[in-house]
Amino acid sequence: MDTSFIKKLVNIVGTEYVSDRKDVLLTYSASASIGYDRVYPGAVVRPANAEEVSLILKLANEHKVPVTPRSGGSSLQGEVIPKEGGLVIDLLRLDNITFFEDLRSIRAGAGVTFGTLDKYLKKYDSWIPVYPDSSLICTVAGNVAVNGAGPGSGVQGCMAELVLGLEVVLPNGEIIQTGTEANPYAPGPFLRYAFGPDLTGLFIGSLGSLGIITAVSLKVHKRMNHYYYQTYGFDTAAGAENFLSELRHNDVSVPLAAIYEGRILDFFLDMLGEEYGVPQTEWPAFTVSATIGRIRKDQLESDKKMAIQICEELGGRIVNVPELPQGEWEDRMWTFLRSSYVHGWWWMMLYHHQTPTNWHRTVEEIWEVMDKYGIIGHTAGFLTGDSSYNFYPQLYFDPEDPEEEQKVRAAHKELSRRLFKTGAVPFKLAAYWVEGVEEMVPYLNFIRRLKETIDPNNIMNPGVLGGI
Ligand SMILES: Cc1cc2nc3c(=O)[nH]c(=O)nc-3n(C[C@H](O)[C@H](O)[C@H](O)COP(=O)(O)OP(=O)(O)OC[C@H]3O[C@@H](n4cnc5c(N)ncnc54)[C@H](O)[C@@H]3O)c2cc1C
């Protein structure tokens, strides 16, 4: 990278926080995304606050250097892999937390992870009720930038539902604040839709392509301290799907709930090994694994009764393996992703949302595509709101086998198109979904024009949001 550019970066943040050393750049050339090649940036810079971010973006614009904002680097679809010779802006130094106890809200710097925030809020018997499995490394801002989800989403929906406002540095270096905090006299974050259109929403799920989020303001909830773990069995997919739907329709508080086919559950549990303590079970054709969580015990008792009643009304039965949902709720990071990390498999993933009652459509498409291409894979998922279920199908390949890799890449493209036709929507509009959404021409054109307006030099994470 141009030495004069590096010198200017040093002038902004100091020598300690700029590097173009190869061993340092190695770290930034990859992420948790498996199946993506490394790309070396030209330099990395680690600003301390929004003002430094602003100066860096002005400079990048002047030099037309592509920029990749990076927080935890835990994203899985290649969206934080830099451009060759570009600039990575690492935001982990922005780690302030301000709790507005009376407003039940919090403001967290872009570098604050869910794990840190959870520890902080625990002292107040409070939490952010969406807790991604990657919480010890994934930042709140990074998760807002992808509109992530996680355990908790069964009740609260995706991250977007919890956001009250954002501080964003636009590509030209201007700093804006959305939500109530746009008024400097406001006591803090208490309402997102404060000044006309939802500008907060513009940056949620924007994958670092429209600006850099330097602070996130979120709703805070009282912690759920009472849980009931149970598994429910159904002979048909419709029974399991309707069960999930009816739970939420009746306001049963299920922060984490998932449907499994019996055959896939055997496969998962086999991979996990015995330490989970899930007993050998004759699984029904479809199992729902659900955690009910409530603040008060009497609420939990009432929800528990309601869940059992709904299950019976739908012709289901209690399987009585609480170890499965409990393991998922308390230690989910080790579950399904671990299989691939441990075994050294690579994968192509196709995160998406489907309605709970359309759950079988996704599963059918995945099996058909795997059979057609002769590849292996699986899918798991969880409830992400009253009418939304998040799937993360993984198609595996051996990185040493180029033929198999090509097959998986072709299968992945076909699957995205087929899923789109079932009514599924991408979890993130990252490049891995572009084939699936290609019919949405007016929508994609609008995003393109929006990006051109906000970022005329296309410096912000080019090619990432919908491939634009
Ligand atoms: C084991 C494991 C489990 C996971 N479980 C979940 C889960 O349950 N739920 C879930 O949602 N995800 C999950 N993920 C994926 C990942 O953790 C999320 O995508 C996460 O939100 C990424 O956050 P990050 O801070 O690591 O962001 P990064 O990976 O650094 O960046 C993600 C994207 O956001 C952009 N970005 C980062 N910071 C900013 C910023 N401050 N301003 C603007 N743009 C920015 C980047 O350019 C990139 O496009 C998991 C990943 C792993 C490895």
Q: Which CATH number fits domain 344-428: 3.30.70.260, 3.90.550.10, 3.30.1700.10, 3.40.190.10?
A: 3.30.70.260
Please compute the mean of the pLDDT values over residues 311-327 and round it to a whole number.
95
Q: For the structural domain made of 226-331, what CATH number should be given?
A: 3.30.70.3450
- Predicted local distance difference test score (pLDDT) of residue 380: 84
Residue boundaries of the structural domains of the chain: 3-92, 97-222, 226-331, 344-428
> Does residue 183 register a pLDDT over 50?
yes
Q: Sorting pLDDT into bands at 50, 70 and 90, what band is 5? A: very high
Question: Given strand 286-294, what is the order of strands in its sheet?
Answer: 256-261, 286-294, 226-234, 317-318
CA distance 112 to 115: 8
User: Which atom of ligand 1 approaches the CA of 143 most closely?
Assistant: 21
Ligand 1 centre to CA of 392 (Å) is 15
Ligand 1 centre to CA of 143 (Å) is 5
Q: Among residues of the chain, what percentage have pLDDT more than 70?
A: 97
* Structural contact between residues 415 and 350, judged by C-beta atoms closer than 8 angstroms: yes
Task: List pLDDT tens digits, range 329-376.
Answer: 987 645 555 555 656 678 888 999 999 999 999 999 999 999 999 998
**Token pair for 288:** 């729902």
Task: List pLDDT tens digits, range 75-121.
Answer: 988 999 999 999 999 999 999 999 999 999 999 999 999 999 999 99
88 close to ligand 1 (CB < 6 Angstrom): no
Among 212, 74, 222, smallest CA distance to 139 is for 74
143 close to ligand 1 (CB < 6 Angstrom): yes
Question: Which of these ranges, 7-16, 73-82, 176-185, 336-345, has the smallest mean pLDDT?
Answer: 336-345
Q: Sorting pLDDT into bands at 50, 70 and 90, what band is 399? A: confident
- Predicted local distance difference test score (pLDDT) of residue 38: 95
* Structural contact between residues 314 and 249, judged by C-beta atoms closer than 8 angstroms: no
Answer left, alpha or beta for residue 166, where phi above 0 means left and psi between -120 and 50 means alpha: beta
Instruction: Read off the pTM.
Output: 0.96
Backbone phi, psi, residue 346, to 5°? -105, 165
In CATH terms, the fold of domain 97-222 is: 3.30.465
Q: Which DSSP string do the residues of 245-288 spell out, in sequence order? A: HHHHHTT---SEEEEEEHHHHHHHHHHH-GGG-PPP----SEEE
384 close to ligand 1 (CB < 6 Angstrom): no
Domains 97-222 and 344-428 share a fold: no
- Predicted local distance difference test score (pLDDT) of residue 213: 98
Pocket test for ligand 1, best of 39, 56, 80, 427 (most atoms within 8 A of CB): 80
Strand 87-90 and strand 43-45: the pairing is parallel
Pocket test for ligand 1, best of 53, 138, 335 (most atoms within 8 A of CB): 138
* Structural contact between residues 128 and 221, judged by C-beta atoms closer than 8 angstroms: yes
Distances (CA, A) of 439 to 126, 255, 315: 43, 34, 40
- Predicted local distance difference test score (pLDDT) of residue 341: 60
Ligand 1 centre to CA of 20 (Å) is 24
Please compute the mean of the pLDDT values over residues 176-189 and round it to a whole number.
98
CA distance 75 to 72: 8
Please compute the mean of the pLDDT values over residues 415-438 and round it to a whole number.
94
CATH 3.40.640.10 is the classification of domain 3-92:
no
Angle at 400 between CA 341 and CA 31, to 5 degrees: 40
Please compute the mean of the pLDDT values over residues 166-188 and round it to a whole number.
98
Task: List pLDDT tens digits, range 443-459.
Answer: 999 999 999 999 999 99
Task: List pLDDT tens digits, range 284-308.
Answer: 999 999 999 999 999 999 999 999 9
Among 214, 211, 215, smallest CA distance to 451 is for 211
113 close to ligand 1 (CB < 6 Angstrom): no
- Predicted local distance difference test score (pLDDT) of residue 94: 98
**Token pair for 97:** 């937390």
- Predicted local distance difference test score (pLDDT) of residue 340: 57
50 close to ligand 1 (CB < 6 Angstrom): no
> 452: part of which helix (H) or strand (E)?
helix 441-454
* Structural contact between residues 291 and 257, judged by C-beta atoms closer than 8 angstroms: yes
112 close to ligand 1 (CB < 6 Angstrom): no
